[in-house]
């Protein structure tokens, strides 16, 4: 009997957030035939390289999102909100709700709460409520309700306060290489002088893999209300 294929929706505050923090797991699932969709609530265009125009860089970021998703056989969605101006409001919750209902994911991955980065923390709040809205049948929208059964928060150096790895998802060399190839399409991952993104997340994947007694891994937290270990015996 064939296993049911998953649809995974990774929602970041900016293009590149989920690609870096959950990209190895996304690549691994893509190699298993699962459907991968990324959603960026902003393009992250205000991280523009010196001497470049913000609008031009936004276009580049959208291309990079689509290139990453394309290498994983998936899809990329980038909303129109300007970088740094993401608001914690009902309009954005309903917009993300509509994407969830359209994509119909089994799994959503997004940011853990952040004390450092405004857009990350706002994304965390929006997605938590949008997932609820998407599942609420009496909330009439263009598309019918859909419940994404699992919600995970990815590990991000900018969202580190109070983050404690709860779940380790391991992946193999083929997934690691696909992720590295795909995430390197993002200029800031390989070209930024403010932080060595690729080096950091490559080493983190290996460290988390060692902790899990595997080759590579990424870690996630889950909503506190779902932190239960169930067993009938010691």
pLDDT tens, 129-146? 999 999 999 999 999 999
Q: Supply 31's token pair.
A: 């190699």
Q: Can you tell me the distance from the alpha carbon of 126 to that of 172, in angstroms, rounded to the nearest whole number?
A: 32
Provide the 10 A C-beta neighbour count for residue 162. Answer: 10
Query: How would residue 228 be classed by pLDDT, with cut points 50, 70 and 90?
Result: confident
Lowest mean pLDDT among 1-5, 19-23, 168-172: 1-5
49 vs 200, higher pLDDT? 200
107-122 burial, b at 16+ Cβ within 10 Å, e below that, comes to bbbbbbbbeebebbbb
Average pLDDT, the chain: 95
pLDDT tens, 57-101? 999 999 999 999 999 999 999 999 999 899 999 999 999 999 999
Sheet holding 216-221, edge to edge: 75-78, 35-40, 7-12, 107-111, 150-154, 216-221, 167-171
Q: Can you tell me the distance from the alpha carbon of 148 to that of 104, in angstroms, rounded to the nearest whole number?
A: 7
Of residues 231, 119, 229, the one with CA closest to residue 166: 229
**Domains, the chain, with CATH or none:** 7-226 (3.40.50.10320)
């Amino acid at each position: 009997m064939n296993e049911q294929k998953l649809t995974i929706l990774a929602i970041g505050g900016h293009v590149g957030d989920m690609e870096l923090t959950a990209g190895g797991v996304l690549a691994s699932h893509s190699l298993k035939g699962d459907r991968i969709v990324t959603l960026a609530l902003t393009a992250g265009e205000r991280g523009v390289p010196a001497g470049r125009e913000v609008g031009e860089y936004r276009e580049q970021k959208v291309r990079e999102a689509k290139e990453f998703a394309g290498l994983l056989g998936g899809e990329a969605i980038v909303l129109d909100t300007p970088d740094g101006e993401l608001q914690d409001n009902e309009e954005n919750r309903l917009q993300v709700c509509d994407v969830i209902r359209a994509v119909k994911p089994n799994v959503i991955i997004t940011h853990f709460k952040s004390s450092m980065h405004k857009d990350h923390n706002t994304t965390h709040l929006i997605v938590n409520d949008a997932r609820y809205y998407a599942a609420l049948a009496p909330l009439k929208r263009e598309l019918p309700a859909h419940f994404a059964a699992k919600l995970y928060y990815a590990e991000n150096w900018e969202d580190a306060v109070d983050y404690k790895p709860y779940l380790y998802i391991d992946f193999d060399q083929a997934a690691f290489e696909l992720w590295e190839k795909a995430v390197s399409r993002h200029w800031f991952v390989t070209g930024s002088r403010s932080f060595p993104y690729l080096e950091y997340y490559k080493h983190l994947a290996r460290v988390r893999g060692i902790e899990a007694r595997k080759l590579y891994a990424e870690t996630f937290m889950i909503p506190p209300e779902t932190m239960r270990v169930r067993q009938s015996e010691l």
